[in-house]
Amino acid sequence: MSVRGIRGAIDVSANTAAAIGEATTRLLVAMTDANRLVAADIISAFFTVTTDLNAAFPASAARALGWHDVPLLDAQEIEVPGGMARVVRVLLHVDTALERSQIQHVYLDGALALRPDIVQR
């Protein structure tokens, strides 16, 4: 087993707790499914949100998925002119047997445009 980082992002439809929670849940499920992970494989998760999202903590969605003993951190992205609005990003640190080249980074919906170079379709 090795420690690997997995990136992901999703754009959120609105600055509401429900929209942030739904989008974050969708992203985390897609990331764990794509990389064949279970909660016990997750070492930690670092979430960021753009400055226009402040209605909820994305980490709350991870807790709702049962990630109770996983260290989670929420932070705000720097505001870059012209940057994509309403985005939740996450960096998962995981224990996995996957090689670096096998890791599937997950960018959903409009966030696909952020990193088309690393997204496996």
Q: Minimal CA–CA distance to 41: which of 31, 27, 50, 56?
A: 31
Each residue of 51-93: pLDDT tens digit?
A: 999 999 999 999 999 999 999 999 999 999 999 999 999 999 9
Over the chain, what is the mean pLDDT?
Answer: 94
pLDDT confidence of residue 43: 97
For the chain, domain boundaries: 2-114
pTM of the full structure: 0.93
So what's the pLDDT on residue 66?
Answer: 95
14: which 2 tokens?
């609105």
86-121 core/surface letters (b: 16 or more CB in 10 A; e: else): bbbbbbbbbebebeeeebbbbbbebbeebeeeebee
CATH code of 2-114, in short, is 3.30.1330.40
Q: Compute the distance between CA of residue 76 and CA of residue 69 in angstroms, rounded to an integer.
A: 23
Q: What residues contact residue 104 under an 8 Å CB cut-off, 6+ apart?
A: 6, 31, 34, 35, 120
Three-state SS at 82? coil
For residue 26, pLDDT beyond 90: yes
pLDDT(121) > 60 = no
Enumerate the β-bridge partners of residue 29: none
- Continuous H helices in 9-105: 17-34, 59-64
